[in-house]
Structure 1
Amino acid sequence: MAETAKPAPAPEASAGPVSAAGAYLAAGVASSEADYAAAVEWYGRALSGDPANPALLQGALMAHVGTGDMVGAAKLAQAFQAAGGKSQIATVVLIAGDAKRQDYAAILKEQAAGGSAGAVLDDLVKAWAKLGLGRMSEATEAFDKMAKTKGLEAFGLYHKALALASAGDYEGAENILSGKAGGSFPLTRRGLIATVEILSQLERNPEAVALIDRNFQPGTDLEIDDLRRRLDAGEPLPFTIVRNAGDGIGEVFYSMANAVKGDADASFTLLHARAAAYLRPDNTEAILLVAGLLEQQRQHVLATAAYATVSPSDPNFHAAEIGRANATFAAGHPEAALEILQALARTHGDILAVQLALADGMRREKRYDEAFKAYDAAIKMVPNPGPGHWVLFYSRGVVSDALRHYDAAEADFRRAMALNPNQPELLNYLGYSLVDQGRKLDEALGLIKRAVLMQPDSGAILDSLGWAYYRLERYRDAVLPMEQASQRMPVDATVTDHLGDVYWAVGRKREAEYQWRRALSYDPDEKLAARLRLKLAKGLDAVLAAEGAAPLKPVAAAAAQP
């Protein structure tokens, strides 16, 4: 397995003075790896000797954006422009700073001077800036122009609706969002919340409830559940999505980030998501997007910091804490991650996702007794499980299997199969578990074959198929799937060990020993490592005899079996 590239060392960790060229090169390496914190340090050192260098300023301002320091980024963007530089990054940062101060004239001045954040953003931002200056008719004309532009209709209509609602014209906003004016367009979750709040302002709570019921399943989104409860109680919901022009510009940045995520470069999406979260610190969707992008870029420490900005009073706090725990796991701090999940379970233990996250975390760290308790608690929260709940029983079964409670594990696997019979992961696990125990081998083989048909390229499932053939003493049949599994999972100690056993069983003993040596190099657990060493020293036949296991059948005899 290729070694993961290490982040550029921070200047404090460097031995001796670093030249300006060295700092520049280190900053470039850090930037290429999205190591924003190191990039901030290295660019800072490089700029100390060349403070007006446009290339250094441009790199530094994106590094500051990456760390979430939008104020520091704005200062660098101003210096970049003073040095004659122009870029989309600098313009986005400057617009965000101006919008934060509600200096809408400065935004228009920046655009007039040639600053551009991209054609779509320029038009939307200009419209919102004009609204902020009280020029409502010019703003709506700009939104209308975009709404008539092929491919941009949804952007223009959505932002015009938000602008009308922010000015108190809820009737006009609802006509747009409902499709009565200008045609229909798909609404995001945030757009649906805006529509719900607008309907409530129009004293149409029952319609708002119906809209929620058409688009959301109860219990899957706590914020939506809370909105529905308040609507049912007759409470008029305030319009919160966009309260002023600054909020509108923040929504522009979020709209762009949400539209390009997964397609554009992660840093480009992060730039707009950071700007959105800066202008609306209560936009939890923007914060979660920022954190997710940082995790995608393997900046787990920055991701945990982003998740931590979500308020405990936010309905999505539990989702942010689960994300923070996952990022903490990824950063290599499992105990700290489990502490986050345990604390969350104490305050939000009535949420299914919380119990499931705690259980998954405990299982990940092989704390199986605690994992079982959490899975058990999660299952008790679902009195009438449906097809989507198969994973709860599957996961509890995996833990029971690890605890060697095989009957309980099998019962859970079969309950999961009754709920959702066509899950290859489930079929494979039950089949492999039965094979490993030497029980119901014919049924086990059938389960695994079904899984292979569903996922023919899965190394884990091919390993199970090969191992089932081996346990059924069909050694020659085992060779091909085990080789295919090894090709797909080339550095997995267990798969490589299995391939060695299969080779030994068909008489390819030198190849078997080679595979066992490979398996030893892949950091197996101590139990497997000890068995590998014994096989290399004495051979598989001797190890099986010492373990009291049945001896391998001669290949010819094994091949004669139906």
Structure 2
Amino acid sequence: MATVENDFLAAARFFVQAVAHDPEDRFLQDSALVALVSAGEIDRAADLAKRIGSDGEPTELSRLIDRAERVHEGDWAGLLAEVGTPTDAESQADLLAGMLRGWGLLGAGKAKDALAEFERLARLDGVAPMVNYHLALARALVGDYEGAESLLADETTGAHILGFAARAQILVQLERRDEATAMIEAIPGVEAEPQLLALRDRIASGQPVPFDVVKTPADGIAQVFLTFASALASSPDPEPLSLIHARLAAWLSPETAEARLMVAQILQERQQFDLAEPEFDALRRMGQMRPAAELVRIDTLSRADRIEEAGKAALSLTAAYPDLPQAWIALGDLLRQQEKFAQAVPAYDKALALLEDAPADARWFPLYARGIALERSQQFDRAEADFLAAIEIRPNQASLLNYLGYSWIDRNENLDHALGLIQKAVELSPDDGYILDSLAWAYYRLGRFDEAVAPMEAAILTMSQDPLVNDHLGDIYWKVGRQREAEIQWQRVLSLKPTETDDVDPDRIRAKLDRGLDAVLAEESAAGTADTPAPVPQAANN
């Protein structure tokens, strides 16, 4: 069960105990290895893998871990003896072994043989880009920068973060700094990769820039594991072995930020936040915080209701990259999610100031989000301006049209225009329960009760568990003379046990059941109490 729930620490504990009781069971042994490596307890996994090998035929996983342990210990002769000299057919079936052999030969001081091994592997079907990347790193490590650069210049080989960094560093060694700077600036989306931008700035300013994407053959093998981890993680049905390969990469080369990042992201995807956090902390200490990855992390933490951790991550990101508008948007979204609307406004202010010269399409969502925060913090004039500006950019964004339209309806302003916006939102998103609810409630607030019935009944089909929508349907039924059905809806509201976040007052529901809606509205009017609070339109994500 621990394995099913990705609780790797617990799984490791239980499987190790099971292996102690039944040390010959290969399934238990492999299960223990998977859990130990996934939990980051690789030294213990290496000890168990040795015992498995010494007790008989090793398993495929124990052999993989044993090979990694030999690299960790610098036992290049042992690694080469273990992987042997595979034929082309064997290498096609087990590319990993061939690549380990290539780096192992380099570790053993046999540079010529190592390069020849990578060249042999590159001739196999379908693997040239992957192998040539490692061949380029190996060439650079032995000082053949010209050969390395020619390989990395091929987009199929070097068009990824580590490939770009390696090629830029190699160009510097070839005294081609201007070319390195231009190459980085031409990378699509480079503005979101501060590490590459920092490398560009060091190159442009004439600072020393060594080749250090790999410093040792062990770093090269870590990149082999990272390559396989990436391939396994990106498959349509991600392999559990992706985390194992990423863990081994980070174990062999703790300073390789990409390996630590992949471990953290896989753990995060599997909801193992406590195990992922030390990896993210390590990246921050290394100065390798990746904004794009941090934004995904913040969103994932938020969706998992780990709001405090998400907030800390957002604050750390804004501190590390104060000129990154997406960081301020993420912080604003978190504050808005916690209904800290007034506090969210300055975060969106900062983001929009940074986006002042950005393309219009980059501004619509922060305008919309700030509009929501302003509207909910009773600053409607500013909110209205933001909504109108956002609609000018995205005139067919259904949730945006719905929000402004409903806000006007709720304030009894621009009623015809408001209804038109909501009707257009329904046309754009006819199955959205929130927007159908808005349309029905708009008709209700305009006194067009008969027209409100159909959209509210459609809304309830998609939101049957929403107390507020059931309450609205009850009110509409009452107004069209269907009192018994109205009472059924209100009783259903109480059965759903609404909380404060549902914008439903259970006492008011009971009053309607006891005295009827008309009596409750009359009492509220006499007391100066506003009509039923308008539902908050659902905001879309960026």
**TM value normalised by structure 2:** 0.85
Aligned partners of 1:292, 1:150: CA distance in 2, in Å? Answer: 31
Q: Tell me which residue corresponds to 1:492.
A: 466
- Amino acid in structure 1 at the alignment position of 2:150: N
Aligned partners of 2:56, 2:440: CA distance in 1, in Å? Answer: 65
Does the CA-based 8 Å contact 1:466-1:478 persist in structure 2?
Answer: yes
In the alignment, is residue 307 of structure 1 matched against residue 283 of structure 2?
no
Change (3 A) 1:197 1:186: closer
Give the SS at the match of 2:339.
coil
Pairwise CA RMSD? 3.3
Change (3 A) 1:377 1:47: same
C-alpha deviation, 1:92, in angstroms: 3.4
- What does residue range 72-471 of structure 1 map to in structure 2 within 5 Å? 72-84=44-56, 86-112=58-84, 119-179=94-154, 184-185=156-157, 187-217=159-189, 219-262=191-234, 263-265=236-238, 267-316=240-289, 329=302, 332-335=305-308, 337-342=310-315, 345=318, 348-386=321-359, 387-471=361-445
Q: Name the stretch that deviates more: 299-308 or 496-505.
A: 496-505
- What does residue range 538-557 of structure 1 map to in structure 2 within 5 Å? 538-548=515-525
Does the CA-based 8 Å contact 1:54-1:85 persist in structure 2?
Answer: no
Does the CA-based 8 Å contact 2:218-2:252 persist in structure 1?
Answer: yes
C-alpha deviation, 1:290, in angstroms: 2.1
Aligned partners of 1:379, 1:437: CA distance in 2, in Å? Answer: 27
Change (3 A) 1:102 1:167: same
Change (3 A) 1:226 1:442: same
Aligned partners of 1:63, 1:484: CA distance in 2, in Å? Answer: 48
Residue among 61, 64, 70 paired with 2:33 = 61
Give the SS at the match of 2:186.
helix
Change (3 A) 1:222 1:550: closer
Does the CA-based 8 Å contact 1:500-1:514 persist in structure 2?
Answer: yes
Change (3 A) 1:348 1:155: closer
Give the SS at the match of 1:528.
coil
CA offsets 1:369-391 (integer angstroms, 9 cap, x no match) = 22122222222333324221222
Q: Percent identity among equivalent residues? A: 38
Change (3 A) 1:241 1:435: farther
- Amino acid in structure 2 at the alignment position of 1:543: V
- What does residue range 5-24 of structure 1 map to in structure 2 within 5 Å? none
Aligned partners of 2:370, 2:531: CA distance in 1, in Å? Answer: 34
- Amino acid in structure 1 at the alignment position of 2:227: S
Change (3 A) 1:550 1:152: same
The gaps in structure 2 that reach 5 residues or longer are: 533-542
Q: Tell me which residue corresponds to 1:18.
A: none
Aligned partners of 1:479, 1:82: CA distance in 2, in Å? Answer: 75
The gaps in structure 1 that reach 5 residues or longer are: 1-28, 553-562
C-alpha deviation, 1:278, in angstroms: 2.0
C-alpha deviation, 1:172, in angstroms: 0.6
C-alpha deviation, 1:507, in angstroms: 4.2
Aligned partners of 1:331, 1:293: CA distance in 2, in Å? Answer: 15
In the alignment, is residue 535 of structure 1 matched against residue 512 of structure 2?
yes
Change (3 A) 1:217 1:265: closer
Aligned partners of 1:550, 1:352: CA distance in 2, in Å? Answer: 39
Does the CA-based 8 Å contact 1:394-1:413 persist in structure 2?
Answer: yes
Q: What is the count of residue pairs matched by the alignment?
A: 521
- Amino acid in structure 2 at the alignment position of 1:301: D
Q: Tell me which residue corresponds to 2:14.
A: 42
Does the CA-based 8 Å contact 1:147-1:156 persist in structure 2?
Answer: yes
Aligned partners of 2:475, 2:55: CA distance in 1, in Å? Answer: 68
Does the CA-based 8 Å contact 2:355-2:362 persist in structure 1?
Answer: no
Aligned partners of 1:514, 1:305: CA distance in 2, in Å? Answer: 52
Does the CA-based 8 Å contact 1:494-1:524 persist in structure 2?
Answer: no
Aligned partners of 1:86, 1:476: CA distance in 2, in Å? Answer: 75
CA offsets 1:177-215 (integer angstroms, 9 cap, x no match) = 223xxx855722222222222222211122222222221
Change (3 A) 1:376 1:537: farther
Does the CA-based 8 Å contact 1:541-1:551 persist in structure 2?
Answer: no
Change (3 A) 1:193 1:405: same
C-alpha deviation, 1:31, in angstroms: 0.6
Change (3 A) 1:491 1:75: farther
CA offsets 1:468-492 (integer angstroms, 9 cap, x no match) = 3444444454444434443434433
Change (3 A) 1:74 1:430: farther
C-alpha deviation, 1:294, in angstroms: 1.9
